Amino acid sequence: MKTYLECIPCFFRQALDGARKTGAAPKVQKKIMDEFARIIPHVSLRSTPPEIARLGYALLRKLSRNPDPYKEIKQKSNRLALAMHGKLRRKVSGSRNKLLTAVELAIAGNIIDFGVKNNLDVDTELRRILAKEERYARRKDLFHYREFKSALQAARTVLYLGDNAGEVVFDRVLIEEIKRRDPKKQIFFAVKEKPIINDVLREDARESGIDRYATIISNGSDAPGTILRFCSSAFKRIYRKADMVISKGQGNFESLSRARRPIFFLFMVKCPVVERETGAKRGDIVLLSNQKTHGRISIAHVSSKNTAKKV
């Protein structure tokens, strides 16, 4: 998807959040904002939001001299999620529709990214989402589960694009369920090459134990999404050849929503711009097949542009 004008204030908010997480002095924080401001006139709104955010985070690392400002947060998220793993598995094994529950939990894992502070918060959020489980599954326009299930049944190789640390434990629960149903499926789990925000890296994926069920591969890039022209050839080969691509998180959706190959996007809607793109509400979990949404999302896109003009 393209970047909206509303994304600009939000980039600055994220830059400031990030600048503070580095522990940089207020002067350095201001410098980070200033240098990011200098970039803005040179970016096109035809870029996707993760392309622009990537430039901001590169500045953040350079000026703060901190290559991984979110390291502690990622470690904490991993610990928090790992402590819940048994419970998550039991939720799936106790469900009448195990695959659906595993899918919903995997998407719900995205809440760890949502400023969630402790186990109790995660529990509350999970309960909120699972209480709506059937309601989500019934929303045929936002939850292409039937298509997902049949694509999965037919696929021999699956590329699963990871999103965040912590959340990766929820991804493992879905991947475990996929392998339980068909141990012969080959699954690739893609991580980022270098630290970018709290995105999942190889070390987080290993810590989550996902390597017992999937082959961990790097996408070769440090963007907070999957920007193909920054990805490695090795990654792109798997991306092109995999029978099915499962993309987790809003960042991957933002960067791949216009991709030509079939992709299933699993994510929680986190901002007003993506509300407009999808027609879902913030906090909703969605499962979108780009084969079904291409037309519709383009229309939503155009009409929201017109609305913006009118306001």
State the residues that interact with a second copy by CB under 8 A.
5-6, 8-10, 12-13, 16, 19-21, 25-26, 29-30, 33-35, 37-38, 40-41, 45, 305, 308-309, 311
Greatest Cα pair distance, the chain, in angstroms, is 56
Cβ closest to a second copy, residue 229 vs residue 309: 309
**In the bound complex, what is the minimum distance in angstroms from residue 28's beta carbon to a second copy?**
11
264 sits in which H/E element: strand 264-268
Task: Select 44 or 233, whichever has its Cβ closest to a second copy.
Answer: 44
Residues 224/228/234/237 CA torsion (nearest 10 deg) = 130
Axis crossing angle, helix 49-64 with helix 7-21, rounded to the nearest 10: 30
CB of 190 to a second copy, least distance (A): 31
Q: Which lies closer to a second copy via its Cβ, residue 32 or residue 174? A: 32
**Per residue in 160-175, is it b (16+ CB within 10 Å) or e — as a string?**
bbbbbbbbbbbbbbbb
CB 54, min distance to a second copy, A: 17
Q: N- to C-terminal Cα distance for the chain? A: 21
For residues 126 and 105, the answer to whether their CB atoms sit within 8 Å is yes
* Closest to a second copy by CB, 4 or 239: 4
Q: Based on CB atoms, which residue is closest to a second copy, 64 or 101?
A: 64
Least distance (Å) between residue 43 CB and a second copy: 9
Which lies closer to a second copy via its Cβ, residue 135 or residue 305?
Answer: 305
- The CA R_g of the chain, rounded to the nearest whole Å, is 19
Contacts of 154 (CB under 8 A, 6+ apart): 243, 244
Phi-psi domain of 305 (left: phi exceeds 0; alpha: psi -120 through 50; beta: other): alpha
The one-letter amino acid code at 253 reads: F
Nearest approach, Cβ of residue 228 and a second copy (Å): 25
Q: Which two tokens stand for residue 143?
A: 């939850």
**Cβ at position 195, least distance to a second copy in Å:** 20
Provide, rounded to whole angstroms, the least separation between the CB of residue 63 and a second copy. 13
Q: CB-hemisphere CA count at 13 Å for 259?
A: 24
Give 33 or 259: the residue with its C-beta nearer to a second copy: 33
Is 18 within 8 Å of 56 (Cβ atoms)?
A: yes
For 160, phi and psi rounded to 5 degrees?
-110, 115
**Residue 184 or 310 with smaller CB distance to a second copy:** 310
Minimum distance from residue 48 beta carbon to a second copy (Å) = 16
d(CA 59, CA 77): 25
